[in-house]
Structure 1
Amino acid sequence: MSAKRIVLSDTPDRLIKGRHFSDNQQNISEVADETPHSVEQLEAQEHLRVKTLRCAIATGVTDLTQGRVMEIDGEQLEQLMTKIGRRVTSLSNHR
């Protein structure tokens, strides 16, 4: 097989050189082959995070507009978090 020479811009070059070889990667060309897949995976994860955040925001806005909220101060928040923590502990002990 003939060798091919590829010139990378600074960004891909840094991505590849910054990667550590895994047990199944023997040389820089194998890292270069895997790097686009890694970037695609990171982009998919970021897309999922953004989608999840947008969904949570939409739920919060809906709750707010329909009056399903309560205002509490710092002390009340601490009491609520303690109560939730006890409930979670209780539920996990019953499993």
Structure 2
Amino acid sequence: MTMWSFFHTLYLYKYSNLEGIINALISKFTKNKKIEARQQQLIISIAVCYLNICYEQNNEYEVKKVVCFLHKVSKNAEIGLAKLIADYYEALLNKKSFEAEEI
């Protein structure tokens, strides 16, 4: 299965099956610094979708882990939105609704 297909079917997976898949992707991404920009953007998009799923499932640990990953990703314009989304969920998680609304 390609990552593109996975990205588009992410919401069809059982939540309990996603953690291992996402952890493997994040691990591969952080260990391999020579990932193409397109593939990097796709992994970040998958992480953002997973972040939303984790928040909906009230899994604070996974939300924090994905937010941390998104904050560690190298800074460039393509991933600026992903980092902003991570900040939004972090504010929601920390019950800072005013800050989340400002984002």
TM-score by length of 1: 0.27
- More relative contact order in 1 or in 2 (CA 8 Å, sep 6+)? 2
In our comparison, the structure showing a higher alpha carbon Rg is: 1
TM-score by length of 2: 0.25
